[in-house]
Amino acid sequence: MPLKDILVYVDESAQAAGTVAAACSLAVRHDAHLTGMAIDHPPEIPGFAAIEIPPSAVEILKQRRQEALDKERKTFEDGVNAAGLAGRSGWSVASGRALEALSLRSRYADLTVISQNSPDGQTGGEDLVDDLIMASGRPVLVVPYIGAPAQIGRKVLIAWNASRESARALSDAMPLLEAADKIEIFAVEPHSIGDIPGADIAEHLARHGLNVTAAKTAGLDIDVGDVLLNQVADSGADLIVMGAYGHSRMRELVLGGATRHILGHMTVPVLLSH
């Protein structure tokens, strides 16, 4: 299925403009429609406290919420106008909890684009990216807070371990892979996935007419996430495709894991599926 309907989450963070620009770049390249989405967060005020708040304070809260939404809409519209997408874009606002609204809307899109959680925690909630990957049922493209290349998906690195999650991510990424100039299948510490790890899936992609190479590494006793990031730097890849949370998120939180490491240290956009 081609990439024809992209959703981008727009928040108040400093990196929102860069995330919108990345989504616009993908929409232009794939001739897709782009929808920007913001979340209106009503203040959660207990009933017993609400009666103590004067109407003037409530109006100030409403005004600040509207100002935030206006800022987010302007960020989106500036991006689509600069990219020439004004005729193939739309804007929506949902109320309530960000995860519930965003995961629901993402199911009506081919791809959802969101900013990486920033170190200062200004991207709409500490676990929004993680939770969206788990809840949406759709691929999620996470854009680093340091920014994204002008073109995403020219050189793609696929993190491959033959798991259900990596197979799902690869399938979800096919519209991007079909537009790529170079694709590298990269297996870290591969076990029980063939005599030549990555060769089978590379052959599968080659049958789709894709330009694919395969590589592997023993890991060298360093974190798998670091191995992947080192390979990105060496290969010049501008996009990572990987399955998310092959182990439980609790295990990754306690023991570490590739997904959590990449989400915290990514240097290029990452497409994740679970």
Domain range annotation of the chain: 5-143, 155-273
Mean of all residue pLDDT scores within the chain: 87
Q: Encode pLDDT of 55-70 as tens digits.
A: 676 677 788 889 999 9
Pairing of strands 140-143, 270-273: antiparallel
Q: Encode pLDDT of 185-199 as tens digits.
A: 998 866 656 666 788
Identify the CATH number of the domain defined by range 155-273.
3.40.50.620
pTM to 2 decimal places: 0.89
Quote the DSSP letter at residue 44.
-
Contact 216, 188 (CB under 8 A): yes
Topology of the domain covering 5-143: Rossmann fold (3.40.50)
Give the 3-state secondary structure of 90-153: EEEEEECCHHHHHHHHHCCCCEEEEECCCCCCCCCCCCHHHHHHHHCCCCEEEECCCCCCCCCC
Helix (H) or strand (E) holding 60: helix 55-83
Q: Encode pLDDT of 103-117 as tens digits.
A: 999 999 999 999 998
Instruction: Return the higher-pLDDT residue of 99 and 219.
Output: 99
Domains 5-143 and 155-273 share a fold: yes
Instruction: Return the higher-pLDDT residue of 54 and 10.
Output: 10
What is the DSSP annotation of 207-268? TTT--EEEEEE--TTS-HHHHHHHHHHHHT-SEEEEE--SS-HHHHHHH--HHHHHHHH-SS
Give the CA count within 13 Å in the CB-facing half-sphere of 170: 23
Q: Encode pLDDT of 215-268 as tens digits.
A: 888 755 678 889 999 999 999 999 999 999 865 555 444 334 788 889 999 999
Q: What's the pLDDT score for residue 44?
A: 63
Residue 250, both tokens: 């609790």
